Amino acid sequence: MAARDGRVEPAELDDIDRNIIAELTRDGRMSVTQVAENVHISRAHAYTRINRLTADGVLSRFTAVVDPIKAGLKSSAYVTLKLKQDAWRELREKLGAIPEVHHIALVGGDFDVILLVRAVDNIDLRRVIFDQLQSMPGVLDTQTFLVFEDVDTR
């Protein structure tokens, strides 16, 4: 929820809410009946809680966790970007439109943005970095860190 000054206030969550979130994080396809059983509440109560968590933006979407190698994305890298000071707002949408960019984070530190880029192979990864990312107006510098192995902790 947004406060009057534009800050996002965290939702007030209790143990039941946190348990529901944990169950749905573990398996986003879990039925409401199964969530209710695992959390030890009624189905109606689970349904109401899930709807409230969704309406409040705590649960923003339900998604699948994909094994990138099995999906044919054999080359992954974290790519950092240094940007011109006023470039973020414009670049955010352009970066999000690149299919190979799987995660975008604005960060503080020695660089401004970090991306998770997944590609079919190193040739495709090179194309994304050199032809798309480095050529964007507002991008001053990039640095690439190849991923040798992924471990998903969710």
pLDDT at residue 10, rounded to an integer: 84
Distance CA 129, CA 79 (A): 8
Which residue bears the tokens 């809680």?
Answer: 49
- Tokens representing 143 are 């640095």
Read off the pLDDT of each residue in 41-70 and give the average, rounded to a whole number: 93
Distance CA 33, CA 139 (A): 49
Q: At residue 4, does pLDDT exceed 80? A: no
Using N-to-C axis directions, what is the helix angle for 15-26 and 32-39, rounded to 10°?
A: 130
- 154 compared with 24, residue with greater pLDDT: 24
Quick one: the chain helix, strand, coil %, rounded to 5? 35, 20, 45
Q: What percent of the chain has pLDDT over 90?
A: 81
Read off the pLDDT of each residue in 68-97 and give the average, rounded to a whole number: 95
Global confidence as pTM: 0.80
Distance CA 146, CA 74 (A): 11
Read off the pLDDT of each residue in 92-111 and give the average, rounded to a whole number: 96
